[in-house]
């Protein structure tokens, strides 16, 4: 039985999403958290109310929450959006000339000159209208995700106006000056300060924000930051500021109720799937399928819930991979394959940082593993992971097969079932998990090749034996006589080439045959 998770704070859920946005924006991890800390310290120095400080804090944490919505727009204009975004971020609130100059230097920088010119010409045809669409998409998605995660109306309103500028030259350009929510204006100053501070310390941060006061940035917000002094950067050079950022949350620091947790995780799922048109709805589909498969497999209620929730967030690490890789119509090269393999690692490390999500981290990060050790990111084998992990892996495979990809059409239900069965027969997927997924998907069970020629009944006996049940207990559990059970045990020993219960247990572990519960 899985240990219950610690209560999850709303700040933790938002911060996990913030870490994912850092990956998607090509920023060092915790940029969003540093922005929030600098902004809220400035707000406190200004004497803002607690409610206003809360809005400032969450606007800082979530200011990139809509970034996956425009990933494909960025990829069309710039090529590798993860390379371009950090450079564009540094110029965002500079002069229009500075911004356009950076865009021209960054777009398709690695392409041959003629190819680069043609790509830029095609992208430029949309002009500012394309960038306004980009900003509107980002803000709309950020606001909706904020609403679904349970943030206040002031936070949602701030997320609607993230790309406006003090001088009115922002995007979409509907607001200027004090029309822009104060939380947004403080976030913008804190964002530029953090980017510059990482490059050149407080001196460069002062220089950058001062040069932009009255144009891209609110001059009074800049003054407030500068008046607060270097204390706004205190502790930001630590290896991780996670704990400090969580402590910096103003107000009562609410906990997410059990009823709202799935809504928050579904918001994270949708954020991840928006990365590419080819993956829209994938995480929700995997979650529903994995949950039903866990029921079919007879897992306890706590594990069924765990599988569903891990499935919702299993692909959050995909945002760290460029759009061009996910949209490539042909075979991936070595570097691209490695980027894809690492997305499961990114999923695990982002989730593991929040104590309330830690029980999901290892499971979610195992969705790419294969029973024969050929998967990623650890190269785990059958006995290394519980049935919950193999159910998630099989559900992820089947759901992906049923969806179109740039290199193939979606498979029919029957064709996907055939493909999944072949993967199981080849030793990549666990037979029990595969059949559970097939049944959950409305497909008939398939005969699965068992190791050492074991029968289905012998596998059941071995699975319970490996859990420590005595012969009579195994017989009672399976509804057979002790004599018949002992006959099965002797056949298991003979086929597995062992002579003791300990040897049989090792065989069961190696081949993923241990029963999920004793």
Predicted pLDDT of residue 107:
74
Q: How many CB atoms lie within 10 A of CB 47?
A: 9
Cis, peptide link before residue 172, omega less than 30° from 0? yes
d(C-alpha 336, C-alpha 326), whole Å: 9
d(C-alpha 24, C-alpha 19), whole Å: 9
List of residues 6+ apart from 311 with CB closer than 8 A = 283, 286, 287, 289, 290, 291, 364, 367, 392, 395, 396
What SS3 class is residue 66? Answer: coil
Determine the angle formed by the axes of helices 31-45 and 10-24, rounding to 10 degrees: 120
What is the token pair recorded at 352? 């593991």
Place of tokens 């406006």: 164
Task: Tell me the CA distances in angstroms from 209 to 42, 191, 229, 292, one per residue in order.
Answer: 14, 10, 13, 53
C-beta separation of 135 from 171 below 8 A: yes
C-beta separation of 407 from 446 below 8 A: no
d(C-alpha 263, C-alpha 27), whole Å: 27
For the chain, the C-alpha Rg in angstroms (whole number) is: 26
C-beta separation of 441 from 397 below 8 A: no
Dihedral, 257, 288, 517, 442 alpha carbons, nearest 10: 160
What is the pTM assigned to this prediction?
0.86
Distance of CA 425 to the CA centre of its chain: 30
d(C-alpha 445, C-alpha 436), whole Å: 8
Q: How many CB atoms lie within 10 A of CB 64?
A: 25
d(C-alpha 511, C-alpha 503), whole Å: 13
C-beta separation of 436 from 486 below 8 A: no
C-beta separation of 15 from 245 below 8 A: yes
pLDDT average per 10 residues of sequence, the chain (518 residues): 69 97 95 98 97 98 93 83 84 74 74 69 60 84 95 96 93 91 98 95 96 96 96 96 97 94 96 94 97 95 97 98 94 96 97 96 97 94 90 98 96 97 92 94 85 87 91 93 95 94 88 70
What SS3 class is residue 9? Answer: strand
- In terms of phi and psi (left: phi > 0; alpha: psi -120 to 50; beta: otherwise), the region of 129 is alpha
> How many Cα atoms within 13 Å fall on the side-chain side of residue 66?
26
CA neighbor of 267 nearest in space, from 224, 234, 309, 215: 309
d(C-alpha 279, C-alpha 272), whole Å: 9
d(C-alpha 392, C-alpha 290), whole Å: 6
Q: What is the DSSP letter of 444?
A: P
What is the token pair recorded at 323? 């759009």
d(C-alpha 264, C-alpha 279), whole Å: 19
Task: Tell me the CA distances in angstroms from 390 to 293, 365, 372, 466, 497, one per residue in order.
Answer: 11, 12, 12, 18, 26
List of residues 6+ apart from 231 with CB closer than 8 A = 41
What SS3 class is residue 405? Answer: strand
d(C-alpha 35, C-alpha 122), whole Å: 35
Task: Give the E-state strand segments of 252-397 in sequence order.
Answer: none
**Residues β-bridged to residue 511:** none
d(C-alpha 514, C-alpha 479), whole Å: 19
What is the token pair recorded at 195? 């980017």
Question: DSSP string covering 460-502, please?
Answer: HHHHHHHTT--HHHHHHHHT--HHHHHHHHHHHHHHHT--SHH
């Amino acid at each position: 039985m899985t240990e219950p998770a610690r209560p999850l704070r709303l700040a933790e859920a938002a911060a996990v999403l913030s870490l994912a946005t850092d990956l998607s924006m090509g920023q060092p991890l915790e940029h969003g958290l540093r922005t929030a800390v600098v902004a809220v310290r400035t707000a406190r120095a200004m004497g803002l109310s607690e409610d206003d400080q809360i809005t400032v804090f969450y606007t800082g944490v979530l200011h990139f929450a809509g970034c996956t919505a425009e990933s494909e727009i960025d990829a069309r204009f710039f090529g590798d959006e993860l390379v371009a975004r950090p450079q564009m971020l540094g110029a965002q609130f500079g002069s229009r000339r500075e911004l356009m100059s950076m865009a021209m230097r960054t777009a398709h920088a690695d392409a041959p000159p003629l190819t680069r010119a043609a790509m830029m010409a095609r992208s430029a045809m949309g002009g500012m209208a394309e960038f306004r669409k980009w900003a509107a998409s980002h803000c709309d998605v950020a606001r909706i995700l904020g609403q679904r995660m349970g943030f206040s109306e002031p936070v949602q309103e701030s997320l609607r106006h993230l790309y406006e500028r003090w001088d009115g030259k922002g995007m979409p350009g509907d607001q200027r000056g004090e029309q822009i929510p104060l939380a947004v204006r403080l976030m913008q100053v804190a964002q530029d300060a953090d980017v510059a501070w990482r490059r050149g310390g407080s001196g460069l941060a002062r220089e950058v924000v001062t040069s932009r006061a009255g144009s891209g940035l609110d001059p009074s917000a800049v003054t407030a930051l500068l008046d607060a002094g270097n204390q706004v950067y205190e502790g930001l050079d630590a290896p991780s500021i996670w704990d400090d950022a969580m402590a910096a949350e103003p107000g009562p620091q609410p906990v997410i109720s059990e009823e709202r947790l799935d809504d928050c995780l579904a918001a994270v799922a949708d954020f991840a799937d928006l990365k590419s048109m080819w993956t829209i709805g994938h995480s929700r589909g995997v979650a529903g399928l994995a949950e039903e498969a866990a029921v079919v497999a007879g897992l306890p209620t706590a594990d069924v819930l765990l599988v569903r929730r891990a499935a919702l967030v299993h692909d959050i690490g995909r945002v760290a991979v460029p759009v061009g890789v996910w949209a490539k119509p042909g075979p991936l090269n070595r570097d691209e394959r490695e980027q894809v393999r690492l997305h499961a690692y990114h999923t695990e490390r982002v989730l593991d940082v929040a104590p309330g999500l830690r029980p999901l981290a290892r499971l979610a990060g195992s969705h790419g593993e294969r029973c024969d050790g050929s998967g990623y990111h650890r190269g785990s084998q059958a006995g290394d992971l519980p049935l919950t992990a193999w159910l998630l892996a099989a559900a992820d495979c089947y759901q992906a097969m049923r969806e179109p990809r740039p290199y193939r059409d979606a498979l029919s239900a029957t064709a996907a079932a055939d493909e999944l069965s072949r993967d199981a027969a080849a030793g990549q997927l666990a037979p029990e998990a595969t059949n559970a997924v097939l049944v959950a998907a409305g497909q008939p069970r398939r005969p699965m090749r068992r190791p050492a020629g074991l029968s289905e009944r012998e596998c059941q006996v071995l699975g319970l034996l490996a859990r420590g049940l005595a012969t009579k207990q195994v017989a009672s559990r399976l509804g057979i006589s002790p004599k018949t059970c002992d006959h099965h045990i002797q056949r298991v020993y003979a086929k597995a080439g062992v002579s003791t219960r300990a040897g049989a247990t090792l065989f069961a572990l190696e081949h993923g045959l241990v029963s999920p519960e004793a």
